[in-house]
Structure 1
Amino acid sequence: MTATAFIAGTGTALPGEPVDNATLGRALGLSAEWIDLFVGTRSRHFARDLDSGETLGTLASLCARAAAEALERAGLDPADVDFLLLATATPDQLLPTTATQVADLLGLGHLPAYQVQAGCSGALQAVELGRALIAAGASAGLVIGGDVTHRHLDLRPGAARRPAGELVNYVLFGDGAGAAVLTARPCGDRLAVRGVLHRFTGLGRPPGQVVHWYGPGDGAPEGPAVSEDYKAIEEYVPDMAAEAMWETLDVAGWQPADLDYVLPPQLSRHMTRRILDRLELPGVREISCVTDTGNTGNALPFHQLDRLAATARPGERAIVLAVESSKWIRTGAGLEKL
């Protein structure tokens, strides 16, 4: 398949120092061993200090850091950017959009600034939309993904008393941002986007995750702001990832034997292992980061792409997959190093 867009540079941002399982366990009244047994993730970053409550960064500031790094690596200036796309499930405010706040921090004006409201699938949805803008005539654009989930979690002692469907969110997630520069011509990292998949697959199926927002008209909210059906996620996501892999390969015109790298969905270290077993790609190298970053939602695919850009050699091919459990969306993209 002929590429209509190229990834020229990537960037990432994580707030503060890593929070390991022992530190998180002490803060929440949980054992580090239980966290490791449950999700297998070793550390994560929060944009709020667990001891002082100090804010260490907003979503906008993290996204601006990642985007500035991506531009630098691509060798482009802000004046070269024709559009900005930001995917997030956790904007700083409902309005103004975080996309416009990021554009302001980067000194970008008089350009389209779009915001995609989505969970883990949003990063590749943004790549899909950015690719369409490039095909329509744009020369270069910023595609950004990020989430700061700490604002939905009560990170104080006593979490161990919460129901399992709520408690899982306290040990799965972290905060962060990532970005990529899309260009119409190959430059910089020269990763050709050979195909993008985006499929809603939750028709008639209950959500696997729900994130609420409230206003004064709602009265006193009942229940947690975030809830997760982790058993459903464990059951459905590996098969959805396999479906996304085969569909993305078809879109790119590839076979499994054509792949050198797989960037699997990043829910947790244990889930990554289950997904890789289901994908059945012997000899294909894995690029993952969730063990050290936690589940940073829309930032994760960009963190994986950042590692791919530093590793891949000319002619090598990769497939990146993401599955969103809210109302079940599967996404994927084929990439080739030129």
Structure 2
Amino acid sequence: MDAPDIHLLSAGTALPGAPVDNAALAGRFGMDTLWEQWIDTFVGTRTRHLAVDLKTGEPKFRLTDLCEQAGSRALETAGLTAGDVDLVVLGTSTPDQLMPATVNMVAERLGIDAVATYQLQSGCTGAVQALNMARQLLMAGEHHTALVLGGDVCSKIFDVETDLSALSPEEMVNVALFGDGAGAAVLTTRPQDRSARLVRVLTRLVGLNREPGQVLEWFTKSDRNPDRAASREDYKAIEAAVPVMAAEVLDELLDDLGWAADDLDFLLPPQLSGRMTDLIVKRMDAPHPTEITCVAETGNTGNALPFLQLERLLPRMATGDRAVAVAVESSKWIKAGFALERG
């Protein structure tokens, strides 16, 4: 029996609290207007949403909270209920705790039970990995409808009392880059009107003999080392490698599908920062597609970003439209992407 087509019915997202602009961020950390201007000019991200109270550092939202909101929104948009879901997959680099797995706490909040659940630990390509895993399981015929989740709460890593002027550049840049959020999508073997076919998913590790571009530590009481940064990033290495990797993903997807660049109606590029996204799109050199991007307003929300893009894309896709999304993870260098076509 031939494997069924997999259709994307809907996407939903959740962002915590009101947007935090660069002036508020600079003011909280006691930085001058030059730092604010540096974010505007060299990072290109204007606002982000944070799951912690910027004044006190107290958490206001957990990843479970945001994934519950996003999942509920995606199901409602698809016209489905928790009882229609028989598979849940979550991709994240910042789970709420090691156990219970965050995916299972989200399932409980949504009233989903007696189904297969999976949680993938990964950075910015985790959402694509989750889509790929759900797609493969649906194609195998054991499941019919999957809720795929992705999100990150990076702000819990930051100490709002930190003196940013004392940090190294690879630590300081993360404060400006990242925001928090979650997203969800509904995949199914049972298409609906205006659903988009998920025709290809690519995810590939390419980090052999390469130093990590980003490190996020998990400290416990026994190994907390104040001399080791909780989060650090080799932004120069990322700036050099990611545009090249993104162009490679686009070319490979187009080649695999037999699509020409001119056939592409929408492009969902990696969302590292406002400035980096501009550089990436120029390197990808796709001639005509409409770009779907949001990072300047949301910050880099990690595994939530593909869903933020999808939520903006799906209402705009007309019959026959084609879209390609690309994601790149710098932690140990993973390139990923997927292609959609509306029948």
1:132 matches 2:136: yes
- Taking the aligned partners of 2:294 and 2:283, their CA distance within structure 1 comes to 19
Whether 1:81 and 2:85 are equivalent positions in the alignment is yes
1:210/1:228 contact within 8 Å kept: yes
Contact map agreement 2:264 2:288 (CA 8 A) in 1: no
Which residues in structure 2 correspond to 1:108-147 (within 5 Å)? Answer: 108-137=112-141, 138-147=143-152
Q: Aligned residue for 1:17?
A: 18
Secondary structure at 2:315 match in 1: helix
Report SS of the residue matched to 1:216. coil
Q: Is the 8 A contact 1:9 1:189 kept in 2?
A: no
Q: Structure 1, unaligned stretches of length 5 or more?
A: none
| TM-score in terms of structure 2 length | 0.95
Given the alignment of the two structures, is residue 49 of structure 1 paired with residue 53 of structure 2, yes or no? Answer: yes
* Residue 299 (1) aligns with residue 304 (2): yes
**Per-residue deviation, residues 42-87 of structure 1 (Å, max 9, x unmatched):** 0000001112334221100100100000000111111000110000
C-alpha spacing 1:265/1:324, structure 2 compared with 1 (3 Å): same
Whole-Å separation in 1 of the counterparts to 2:235 and 2:279: 14
2:178 to 173, 181, 187: 173
Q: Which amino acid aligns with 1:282?
A: P
1:295 counterpart SS class:
coil
Tell me the SS of whatever aligns to 2:11. strand
Question: What displacement does 1:160 show?
Answer: 2.7
Superposition pairs for residues 97-112 of structure 1, below 5 Å? Answer: 97-112=101-116
Q: 1:78 to 1:188 in 2, by over 3 A?
A: farther
Is the partner of 1:8 in helix, strand or coil? strand
- Offset of residue 29 of structure 1: 2.2
Instruction: Please point out which of 70, 73, 85 is paired with 1:69.
Output: 73
Separation in structure 2 between the aligned mates of residue 106 and residue 221 of structure 1, nearest angstrom: 39
TM-score (norm 1): 0.97
The 1:86–1:59 alpha-carbon spacing in structure 2 relative to 1, beyond 3 Å, is: same
Q: Relative to 1, partners in 2 of residues 1:162 and 1:118: Cα closer, same or farther, differing over 3 Å?
A: same
**Shift in alpha-carbon separation, 1:283–1:68, aligned structure 2, 3 A:** same
Q: 1: CA distance between counterparts of 2:144 and 2:255?
A: 27
Superposition pairs for residues 182-331 of structure 1, below 5 Å?
182-187=187-192, 189-218=194-223, 220-331=225-336
Conserved 8 A contact 2:57-2:159: no
User: How far does the alpha carbon of each residue in 1:204-237 deviate from its partner, in whole angstroms, 9 at most, with x for none?
Assistant: 1000001111223425353211110000000000
The offset of 1:172, in angstroms, is 0.2
Moved more, 319-328 or 49-58: 49-58
Q: Which residue identity is paired with 2:253?
A: T
Q: Deviations over 1:124-175 (max 9, x none)?
A: 1111101011111211010000000011111235213211010010000000
Contact 1:196 1:251 in 2 (8 A): no
* Contact kept? 2:57, 2:160, Cα under 8 Å: no
Q: CA deviation at 1:337?
A: 1.6
**What is the alpha-carbon distance in structure 2 between the residues aligned to residue 222 and residue 248 of structure 1?**
43
Q: Which moved more, 1:152-161 or 1:298-307?
A: 152-161
**Structure-2 change in CA distance of 1:239 and 1:99 (3 Å):** same
Are 1:73 and 1:188, in contact at CA under 8 Å, matched by a contact in 2? no
Paired with 2:162 and 2:213, the residues of 1 have a C-alpha distance of 26
Q: 2:254 & 2:30 partners in 1: Cα distance?
A: 45
Q: How many aligned residue pairs are there?
A: 337
User: Aligned letter for 2:16?
Assistant: P
1-side partners of 2:320 and 2:112: how far apart? 34
CA distance in 2 between counterparts of 1:168 and 1:180 reads: 30
Identity of aligned residues (%): 50
**Secondary structure of 1:218's match?**
coil
